[in-house]
Structures are given as C-alpha cells and as structure tokens.
Structure 1
Amino acid sequence: MMNIADDAINIINGKTRLTVSGDLTIARDKAGLANALALYKALGAIVDSLQNNASLPEKLADEPPKPTGSADNPFI
C-alpha cells in the first residue's frame, strides 16, 4: 500500500489488481509539485511494471464473477 499527500491518494496492490482511490488537489506551489511528482512516480512504476510483464493477459476475468440468476429484493 502506498499513500500520497497524507492519505489523499491510496494505492493498494492486490494479487491481480491495483486499486487507486482518493481525491488529490494539486496546488500551484511546491507542496503541489511534491504531490504531483509522487503521483507521477507511482503511476510511472505501475506502467513500467505492466509493460515489462511478458505474460500479461489480454483481460482478467471479472473478480468476483458476475452473478448468475436473480434474487428477490429483501428491502421491498
């Protein structure tokens, strides 16, 4: 897990997927530049890792699998 700007952006590395979540405002100041560079570095590392994976599949299966069938809505 990686955090940018005191948890404004969280990057969680799972087994088959990476999740990026949060809300980051990048100001036109040195602190904003530091936040932008941290995000740029993290995303660059993600792209490099994906590009250098020779066994990268075309698309992963949905996780969890899409539901089949239907169920009654217990709230109505």
Structure 2
Amino acid sequence: MLNQQEKATSSQTSPYSAKWKWEKRHVLLLIALVLLALWYFIPKIKTSPSLQKGIAHLSTIGGLLFAADSVIKLAQ
C-alpha cells in the first residue's frame, strides 16, 4: 500500500510532467520574437499603401484602447 502511494507522489513531482504553464519568461520570449519580426518586416510595412492609412491612425487607436482599458477597469 505504501509503495503505491510513493509511486503516485513521485510521478506527480516528476520534472517531465505533461503540465505546461505560461510563465513570465515565456511571455517575454514571445514579445521578443514579435518585436524581431516587426523589425524585419517594418520596411515592407512602411511602403505598403494599404497599411499606411492604419499607421497614420496608430496614435488614435492607442488612445482609444487605453481609454477602453480604463473604462473596463472602472466597471469591474
């Protein structure tokens, strides 16, 4: 009986468990990869006429998102 309990607890603490959890380092790595991709594609984005309209309105979009975030926090 004790051997079965020991096996169960040792399998739960295994470093190779199937559970994966988002950590701060994973988020930072993802942000770094996105920024590297943007750095690579920024010349193509700047010359694209369809995206120049969106680039011109980035400050307005950012302000609206910031305001929406503030309103959501107030509502909670």
> Does TM, scored on the shorter chain, surpass 0.5?
no
Q: Which has the higher contact order (CA 8 A, sep 6+)?
A: 1
Higher strand share: 1
TM-score by length of structure 2 reads 0.28
Higher helix share: 2
TM-score by length of structure 1 reads 0.28
Larger Rg: 2
